[in-house]
């Protein structure tokens, strides 16, 4: 029996379209009109919500359903979404990115997947749970944040640091992006559910030279030294750090294929054999890159600076490096790995400093909530496989984790085989399949209704 009526499904679709028509590109990240739309919608349904934030444009919305005190046996559960989106280059789109075009199969728009689709889905689920509040075993908190796409400073980070009370102070669980969507592979359907995120280590490499007049040859030019150092970092294959997060992820995809495939997958984790085997056996370049990224730290030079005048040899040059940390790794570990690379660069007098860092996060996959998520996906799509996954990027979960919450990427979305989730995420022509979106509302509501009303 469906828990969601056809009116609720239509209302979710309309809410999604209304959110997509509001341009919340970040930068500048003005989400206020989208937050106001949600606030008014909730108010119309008798749900009060709070708007808070550092600035009037960068605001966050929080609403809470309180379980009856006699039923309240557990710490709160949070449904979290962000309403800011990455910018869109309209000239590259088939339909304008803020038009919410409906072609009968998909709704198009920047944010359809990342992640206004979940905002609409979670809002309708939250409203359904409000009607069942008398039987809830814990408080449920709906959070819509700003600023996720620009680093979370004014969004979840701000909330965690300034208003943890609104987040229940010590929430037990957070349901957030990135996971719960269908991945089609060799005739099988998988549902990655995110349980880990890599960490961040933004570094600055500075090299020294000897300033001088640039009319003379053969000088100790910091710009030239930096070029050699950057090339060495770009070509370096940093050591493997296979953790249980990578193992669960890589072996989870191989398991349905049988013992041999599983054995090969486990060899990818081997620090000696893994790098070569991955190169030989995974021919698809983007798949290989995403597998390699979960097995080791990465470091990509992204910003360079040297010299002020065209006729002066620069005495100093620097490169900013976007470093990402495998589970268990720290910024200091990555610096040691880069030092080993840079020490081999001839005549390179350098320093490495940390500009900003946040640790990798990882959550257990043997909790009652994970089991409920797994069961809900397997029953909504019989024969599919749920895989605990790790992502290379970060989400708001890294901040919620500091409150002691266990965070999962669970945004249930049935994707047809010809629509690839990864290419839509931040891509041109981002769109969400309507049928799969409605399927997701049902899966999320059914799972949470069971989980929040049963003894567990």
The DSSP call for residue 68 is P
- Of 89-97, 109-117, 206-214, 240-248, the segment contacting Zn ion by CB under 5 A is 109-117
3-state secondary structure of 409: strand
Of 115, 269, 373, 424, the residue at the interface with Zn ion (CB under 5 A) is 115
- Of 137-145, 170-178, 204-212, 411-419, the segment contacting Zn ion by CB under 5 A is 170-178
What's the full length of the chain, in residues?
A: 456
E-strand ranges in 138-225 read: 140-145, 173-176, 183-185, 188-197, 199-208, 212-213
For residue 364, the minimal CB distance to Zn ion (Å) is: 23
Beta-ladder partners of 52 = 60
For residue 439, the minimal CB distance to Zn ion (Å) is: 20
Nearer to Zn ion, 128 or 395 (CB): 395
Nearer to Zn ion, 116 or 189 (CB): 116
- State how far the Cα of 452 lies from the Cα of 372, in Å rounded to an integer: 10
For residue 119, the minimal CB distance to Zn ion (Å) is: 10
Nearer to Zn ion, 254 or 413 (CB): 413
For position 396 contacting Zn ion by CB under 5 A, the verdict is: no
Q: Return all residues near 196 (Cβ < 8 A) that are at least 6 apart.
A: 245, 327, 360, 361, 362, 363, 388, 389, 390, 391
Nearer to Zn ion, 117 or 314 (CB): 117
For residue 287, the minimal CB distance to Zn ion (Å) is: 21
Nearer to Zn ion, 209 or 409 (CB): 409
Alpha-carbon distance values, 279 to 104, 291, 392 (Å):
41, 11, 19
For residue 116, the minimal CB distance to Zn ion (Å) is: 10
- Cβ-closest position to Zn ion: 114
Nearer to Zn ion, 114 or 147 (CB): 114
The DSSP call for residue 411 is -
- State how far the Cα of 311 lies from the Cα of 449, in Å rounded to an integer: 70
- Of 83-91, 110-118, 122-130, 306-314, the segment contacting Zn ion by CB under 5 A is 110-118
Sign of torsion over alpha carbons 414, 417, 420, 424: negative
For residue 407, the minimal CB distance to Zn ion (Å) is: 13
Using CB atoms within 10 A of its CB, is residue 341 exposed (0-12), middle (13-18) or buried (19+)? middle
For position 114 contacting Zn ion by CB under 5 A, the verdict is: yes
For residue 296, the minimal CB distance to Zn ion (Å) is: 24
Alpha-carbon distance values, 388 to 92, 184, 191, 251, 379 (Å):
34, 16, 8, 10, 17
For residue 148, the minimal CB distance to Zn ion (Å) is: 6
- Of 88-96, 115-123, 151-159, 443-451, the segment contacting Zn ion by CB under 5 A is 115-123
Is 77 within 8 Å of 138 (Cβ atoms)? yes
- State how far the Cα of 374 lies from the Cα of 372, in Å rounded to an integer: 5
Nearer to Zn ion, 149 or 337 (CB): 149
Using CB atoms within 10 A of its CB, is residue 46 exposed (0-12), middle (13-18) or buried (19+)? exposed
For residue 33, the minimal CB distance to Zn ion (Å) is: 19
For residue 7, the minimal CB distance to Zn ion (Å) is: 28
Residues in contact with Zn ion, counted by CB under 5 A, come to a total of 3
* x-marked contacts with Zn ion along 60-99 as a string, rule CB under 5 A: ----------------------------------------
Is 198 within 8 Å of 393 (Cβ atoms)? yes
CA atoms within 13 A on the CB side of 206: 11
For position 407 contacting Zn ion by CB under 5 A, the verdict is: no
- Of 171-179, 277-285, 367-375, 378-386, the segment contacting Zn ion by CB under 5 A is 171-179
Nearer to Zn ion, 177 or 333 (CB): 177
Place of tokens 């909790």: 367
For residue 316, the minimal CB distance to Zn ion (Å) is: 37
Q: Return all residues near 309 (Cβ < 8 A) that are at least 6 apart.
A: none
Q: In b/e form, how buried is each residue of 122-144, taking b as 16+ CB within 10 angstroms?
A: bbbbbbbbbeeeeebbbbbbbbb
- Of 174-182, 234-242, 309-317, 346-354, the segment contacting Zn ion by CB under 5 A is 174-182
Nearer to Zn ion, 114 or 139 (CB): 114
- Of 108-116, 188-196, 224-232, 302-310, the segment contacting Zn ion by CB under 5 A is 108-116
For residue 128, the minimal CB distance to Zn ion (Å) is: 23
- Of 112-120, 204-212, 235-243, 259-267, the segment contacting Zn ion by CB under 5 A is 112-120
* Residues near Zn ion, by CB under 5 A: 114-115, 177
């Amino acid at each position: 029996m469906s828990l969601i009526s056809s009116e609720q499904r239509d209302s979710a679709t309309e809410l999604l379209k209304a959110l997509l028509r509001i341009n919340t590109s970040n930068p500048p990240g003005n989400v206020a009109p989208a937050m106001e739309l949600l606030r008014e919608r909730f108010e119309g349904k008798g749900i009060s919500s709070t708007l808070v934030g550092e600035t009037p444009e960068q605001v966050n919305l929080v609403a809470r359903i309180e379980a009856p005190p006699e039923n309240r046996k557990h710490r709160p559960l949070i449904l979290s979404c962000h309403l800011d989106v990455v910018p869109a280059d309209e000239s590259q789109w088939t339909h304008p990115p803020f038009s919410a075009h409906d072609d009968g199969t998909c709704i198009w728009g920047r944010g359809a997947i990342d992640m206004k689709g979940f905002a609409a889905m979670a809002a309708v689920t939250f409203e359904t749970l409000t009607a069942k509040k008398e039987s809830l075993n814990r408080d449920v908190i709906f959070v819509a944040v700003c600023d996720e796409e620009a680093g979370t400073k004014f969004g979840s980070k701000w909330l965690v640091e300034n208003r943890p009370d609104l987040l229940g102070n010590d929430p037990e669980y957070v349901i957030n992006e990135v996971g719960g969507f269908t991945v089609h592979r060799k005739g099988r359907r998988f549902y990655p559910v995110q349980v880990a995120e890599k960490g961040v280590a933004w570094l600055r490499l500075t090299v020294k030279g000897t300033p001088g007049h640039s009319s003379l040859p053969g000088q100790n030019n910091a710009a030239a030294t930096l070029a050699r150092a950057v090339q060495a970092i770009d070509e370096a294959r940093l050591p493997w750090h296979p953790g249980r997060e990578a193992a669960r992820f890589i072996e989870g995809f191989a398991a349905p294929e049988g013992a041999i495939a599983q054995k090969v997958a486990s060899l990818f984790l081997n620090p000696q054999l893994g790098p070569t085997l991955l190169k030989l056996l995974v021919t698809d370049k983007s798949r290989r890159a995403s597998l390699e990224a979960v097995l080791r730290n990465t470091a990509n030079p992204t910003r360079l600076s040297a010299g002020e005048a065209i006729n002066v040899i620069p005495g100093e040059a620097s490169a900013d490096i976007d470093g990402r940390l495998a589970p268990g790794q720290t910024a200091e570990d990555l610096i040691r790995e880069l030092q080993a690379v840079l020490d081999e660069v001839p005549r390179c007098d350098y320093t490495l400093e940390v500009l900003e860092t946040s640790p990798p996060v990882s959550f257990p996959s043997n909790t009652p909530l994970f089991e409920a998520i797994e069961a809900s996906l397997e029953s909504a799509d019989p024969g599919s496989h749920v895989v605990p996954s790790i992502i290379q990027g970060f989400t708001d979960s890294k901040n919620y984790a500091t409150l002691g919450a266990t965070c999962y990427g669970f945004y249930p979305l049935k994707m047809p085989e010809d629509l690839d989730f990864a290419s839509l995420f931040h891509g041109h022509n981002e769109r969400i399949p309507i049928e799969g979106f409605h399927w997701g509302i049902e899966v999320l509501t059914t799972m949470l209704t069971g989980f929040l009303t049963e003894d567990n």
